[in-house]
Amino acid sequence: MRDGDEDRGRLWYGPQPDVAGDSGYPDAPPRMGFFTDTSVCIGCKACEVACKEWNAIPEDGLVWTGMSYDNTQGLGADTWRHVAFIEQRKPFGGQEPGVAHEDVDVFAAAARLGTDASSPGPGATAPPPGRAPEGAPAGQISPLSPDGRTELRWLMSSDVCKHCTHAACLDVCPTGALFRTEFGTVVVQEDICNGCGYCVPACPYGVIDQREDDGRVWKCTLCYDRLGVGMEPACAKSCPTDSIQFGPLDELRERAQARVAQLHAAGVPDARLYGESPEDGVGGDGAFFLLLDEPEVYGLPPDPVVTTRDLPAMWRHAALAAGSLLALALGSFARRPR
């Protein structure tokens, strides 16, 4: 990476360590974002509900899709958080579906919590001493059920606007309705948007969309109103497992690296970060993810690139083409030698 002054120059592509500063905020607060750790998502959809409630988003269609537990289907003008559900036939430690529980007295079990090694207390994620399966460091996490792995795994992931470092939606907006906040997030000013719709096909993640009866476009604001008064966004606040973590992006990136290392050590080699790297096609996402399978399985593009990376080349080619058109016309009027 180059240093200092050059970094602050207007970059169209590549790492941009100071997005807010680049957008003209001299003393911006640290860039804020989301780290969504899908490995602890339980699919409760509290985030979807909290988001709709806080932002007063209209209903987005009530249908049964048959897509596992996902009746929301995807992000859109009226859906700013979307929990994806994926059922896979793949060993995944820890889940024990289909176990019969009729003969278990849950109250007795609860009363025993923490009293012996086979019944660790609340909050304990470590296997009892001496019983940690091979490959799982004791005292950290218990990814494997002691007597073998189960066959089904159920992936859940709460998707959201990525608040890209190089946001195509913002770049192409002709009215300036989309803007970069002092927190480095990307927000639509609804009193300015004229509904031209250009941002919609520009987003490489298919996030932003037009609200039909309204004509304007809408998407996640990363709760700009809440951030302004020092509160965390509604979805992160409501998430019961801290699958959605909110904070300064630098801190989240460190935390995410540690979490991936932890999962790898615990025998979950599929764990990977998505959108975390400032080197990627959009300069890194302000909202990034820990996934347990390839991004496209979750409906995310595997290698998104901000379209404006190629814009200088596009303008060059358009200028050349305009020149060719002029040349054709001149050629058509040229007097033929007699």
Partner 1 sequence: MSESGVTGDGVRGVRPGRQAPTGAGGGRRRHRRGRGEQPMVPDAAFSSYYGKPVLKKPTWKPLDIAGYLYLGGLAGASSLLAAGGQVTGRPGLAAPAKLGAAGAISLSLAALVHDLGRPARFLNMLRVFKPTSPMSVGSWLLAGYAPLTLTAAATEVAGRYRLLGSAATVASAVLGPAVATYTAVLLSDTAVPSWHEGHRELPFVFAGSAATAASGLALAAAPPAQAGPARRLAVLGAALELGAFRVMKRRMGLTAEPFEQGRPHLLLRAAEALTAGGAALALCCGRDRRLALAAGAALLTGSAALRFGVFHAGVASAEDPKYTVVPQRERLERRGR
Site for ligand SF4 in 138-167 (CB under 6 A): 161-164, 167
Which residue, 122, 304, 61, is CA-closest to 205? 304
Return the sign of the alpha-carbon dihedral for residues 263, 137, 131, 148.
positive
Distance between CA atoms of residues 153 and 218, nearest Å: 33
The listed partner (partner 1, ligand SF4, none) that binds 156, CB under 5 to 8 Å by sort, is none
From candidates 83, 155, 208, 260, binder to ligand SF4 by CB under 6 A: 208
203 binds ligand SF4, rule: CB under 6 A = yes
How is residue 48 written in tokens?
A: 């979807």
176 binds partner 1, rule: CB under 8 A = yes
198 binds partner 1, rule: CB under 8 A = yes
Q: Which is nearer to partner 1, 32 or 161 (CB)?
A: 161
From candidates 205, 218, 246, 274, binder to ligand SF4 by CB under 6 A: 205
Name the amino acid, one letter, at 164: C
Report the site for partner 1 in 41-60 (rule: CB under 8 A): none
Cβ contacts of 162 within 8 Å, gap of 6 or more: 205, 207, 275, 282, 285, 286, 287, 288
The listed partner (ligand SF4, partner 1, none) that binds 99, CB under 5 to 8 Å by sort, is partner 1
From candidates 169, 235, 249, 260, binder to ligand SF4 by CB under 6 A: 169
Instruction: Give me the residue label for tokens 């007097």.
Output: 335
From candidates 51, 141, 203, 227, binder to partner 1 by CB under 8 A: 203
Which residue, 75, 220, 98, 208, is CA-closest to 152? 98
Classify 118 as helix, strand or coil: coil
Residue range at the interface with ligand SF4 (CB under 6 A); choices 2-10, 123-131, 138-146, 192-200: 192-200
Residue range at the interface with partner 1 (CB under 8 A); choices 1-9, 30-38, 71-79, 261-269: 71-79
Could you tell me if 224 and 181 are in contact, meaning their C-beta atoms sit under 8 angstroms apart?
A: yes
Strand partners, 249: none
Contacts with ligand SF4, residue ranges (CB under 6 A): 161-164, 167-169, 173, 175, 177-178, 186, 188, 193-199, 203, 205, 207-208, 217, 219
